[in-house]
Structure 1
């Protein structure tokens, strides 16, 4: 079979939509291997707040590209694309089907469509932007970005510090907007046959309820202690991508005494809902995606049937 006919299945969905359970189900029924598409699960020691599969789940369905970095390190969409293509090739060589499951939509986009030719991170420029944010707040920097790159600003939440910083950094380094550079990028052809699935509850209310229950469960399971241990290391701070992951920044601020525990839960749930909203916005741009209702009791059967069709078409 030519490379162009070898299938790669993308299992996308917002947080708390049941992607891990679905992936395990497919691994247990088909010759499938999972590659994680999650910008937070790459970090070691960040288990509870990222909803990382536990030891029993990983024994049933090993996940590639989790626990590959220390939280002090930085990861990028470009590096993910390189790593994921290597894992896909290895899975194909073993005669199996790669199942890329997760919720980091930028990584999915980078994998399937390639990346713009953007400048590397510049520590000096980043430090300048972070200093401005400390004085004025990220909402003000978001307004500045809207004046420079309204297209990028429109798709970013005013509290999305990491992406606001990157967009401003790109502009200061190149004199061009991130949206313009991205639009001018040469699309790199994906060398395999893509099958794209989107898993999400049909009703937003269901997703919000799931997010609330899961964040409460994370707190019960020791999320605060997990972040406290990371803070005690002394080499981590909220400017790092790892500590900007949804939930971690809120717990970090709670540990600094900025608000009480009840407020922590409210803030954590609200931040996660905003994150899920952004994920769904990305998902709706996937024109070729087949949608599955995460709240449908027949979901796992439907996914098994869909995977069966993928295998039959090889």
Structure 2
């Protein structure tokens, strides 16, 4: 009996994951699930480098612009919806392609979600008040005291991730990191993970060019429309945060754009750090030939089917 296989495409931002995912979907006559948490929101199109209309028409996509920034949507919500969709897609085909640069969202599908204790919503409320009144610094320092391991591993510039780690640490009395990587529910499919990589200078150059393209496409105008909603969690992300400071009059536009490039490069570095923890990723140079990728995947499929 053939096994169901999820082909997951990962790698740093601007490396070419969307193009490869579409080629794989067409090769296997499969559909694509996006695991890019920034591309879920329909109001954030230019600044998230979401697939364009031509790319979306090239293969069936799911979880692209399906939510509003005004909706609360967690990684747990994504896991529940994506696993249900995978069950439906695997009933039609032995293969599904998943693509995205959000390591946590990819991992939650392939490995399952860590289980955390329930904590009082008042803790999050208090932490958000501190963020609003005093900025992110006090929260970063507090996490270092309560859970140095998490402080060294999560994106401390992401207030949503920071507050989540703090509320669990405070509410449970145990470090957030102590709840990670426990036994999880086994998935009814196998995963083959393909990673794209390049020299750091090439990645950074591609990022800089992508930012310039997004600006040319109207990202500043997009940020202006979103500016009244800038306190929403979905908008606490690279690209929009910098432009909001420009719109606040703190920075000029040229400096804001340079900060977007710098912070996106830092984001790519964190992505690579996350992926290096996964020893199962099959890495390819971003300029690899399709034939090489398909040949390697076909070999992996044979191995999986014989397990």
TM-score for both structures, normalised by structure 1: 0.90
Query: Kindly tell me: are residues 102 and 157 of structure 1, through their superposed partners in 2, closer, same or farther at Cα, counting changes over 3 Å?
Result: closer
Could you tell me how far 1:145 is from its partner in structure 2? 0.6
CA contact (8 A) 1:139 1:159 kept: no
Give 5+ residue unaligned stretches, structure 2. Answer: none
The counterpart of 1:196, out of the listed 193, 198, 223, is 193
RMSD after superposition: 2.0
**2:295: which partner in 1?**
305
Pairs within 5 Å for 1:40-189:
40-119=38-117, 124-183=122-181, 185-189=182-186
Q: Does the CA-based 8 Å contact 1:10-1:195 persist in structure 2?
A: yes
Q: Is the 8 A contact 2:5 2:94 kept in 1?
A: no
Q: Return the alpha-carbon distance in structure 1 between the equivalents of residues 7 and 27 of structure 2.
A: 15
- Structure 1: state its 5+ residue gaps: none
For 2:144 and 2:85, locate their aligned partners in 1 and report how far apart those are by CA, in whole Å.
38
CA contact (8 A) 1:7 1:310 kept: no
Q: Does 1:17 align with 2:15?
A: yes
Q: For 2:151 and 2:301, how far apart are their aligned partners in 1?
A: 41
What's the TM-score once normalised by structure 2's chain length?
0.92
**C-alpha distance in 2, partners of 1:121/1:21?**
41
Count of matched residue pairs:
304
Structure 1 residues 118-145: Cα deviation after superposition (integer angstroms, max 9, x where no partner) = 2568653333212222443323321211
Partner of 2:258: 266
- Residue 29 of structure 2 corresponds to 31
Q: Does 1:237 align with 2:230?
A: yes
Contact kept, 8 Å, 2:25 with 2:96, in 1: the verdict is: no
